[in-house]
Amino acid sequence: MTEDFLQSGYGVRFEWGPAGARHLARDVSCLVVVDVLSFTTSVSVAVEGGARVFPYPWRDDTAIDFAARQDARLAVGRRAVGPDSPWSLSPAALRRAPFAARLVLPSPNGSAISAAADDTTRVVAACLRNASAVGAWLTEQRYGTAERPVGVIAAGERRPDGGLRPALEDLLGAGAVIAALGDRRGSARTSLSPEAAAAAAAFAASPDVAAAVLASASGRELVDGGFPEDVAIATEGDASAVVPVLVDGAFVAAGG
């Protein structure tokens, strides 16, 4: 990528995936990670319950070692949930599981995006459940201006060959955050990059976001796989006022 792709001069910018996050991270003050099905929705549910959530980009044996070093419980794959490992990337499973004060959530998309920022860049986890709350917090922190730009990153999904698959649910989640930020700033409407404005317009043009996500490729995959509750939780629009912020390697509630 060249400098042209930084969307320079705009207070609110939009990109896709870990590569887009790494590129924008060097030119923004805050990264907003949006991975609706299901990383950031799971983060919102866990942090809402009082947990510290450690993102980790690999779901392999190194995640076990990482969780041990953090003195944290390790979330497993949806189908690996059992009595000994009740925590997973499924927000429905997290709601049912016993409380874990410290939890590691492995995710090749959401966690990799979270790791793209350096120590000077804030990282926030957003989803459809807390989009308005995130927009309000960004405004209060004076993000979204040319001096303190914010990059909103739609995680997308991975294709079988490892390539990025742009995902409707993440476009809508990112658009919800951008729309909320623009509504609160007023003048920020003119500070949206064309890419960010298009994402906000996609959200605004969706008459029924929950139905769209349910009928999307990602939504159908989860429903067909036996996890319709995860889609239902992920589409609880503005059900949460909690804003998870990455602090010392873990997502915690802003101001908490």
CA distance 104 to 182: 33
For residues 104-115, average pLDDT:
91
Tokens 């997308």 sit at which residue?
A: 156
Query: Could you count the other beta carbons within 10 Å of the beta carbon of residue 81?
Result: 20
**Cα–Cα nearest to 235, from 216, 248, 251:** 216
Q: What does the pLDDT read at residue 184?
A: 58
Q: Please give the mean pLDDT across all residues of the chain.
A: 93
Q: What does the pLDDT read at residue 56?
A: 95
Q: Is residue 200 part of a domain?
A: yes
Confidence of residue 38 (pLDDT cuts 50, 70, 90): very high
Q: What is the pLDDT of residues 84-101, one digit of tens each?
A: 899 999 999 999 999 999
- pLDDT(68) > 70: yes
- pLDDT(17) > 70: yes
DSSP label at residue 192: B
Structural domain total, the chain = 1
CA distance 132 to 141: 14
Q: Is residue 2 part of a domain?
A: no
pTM of the model: 0.94
The CATH code of the domain that includes 226 is 3.90.1560.10
Which residue segment(s) compose the domain that 47 sits in? Answer: 9-253
Q: Is residue 249 part of a domain?
A: yes
Q: Is residue 105 part of a domain?
A: yes
Q: Is residue 3 part of a domain?
A: no
Tokens 């792709």 sit at which residue?
A: 5
Q: What is the pLDDT of residues 126-148, one digit of tens each?
A: 999 999 999 999 999 999 998 99
Confidence of residue 189 (pLDDT cuts 50, 70, 90): very low
Q: What does the pLDDT read at residue 183?
A: 66
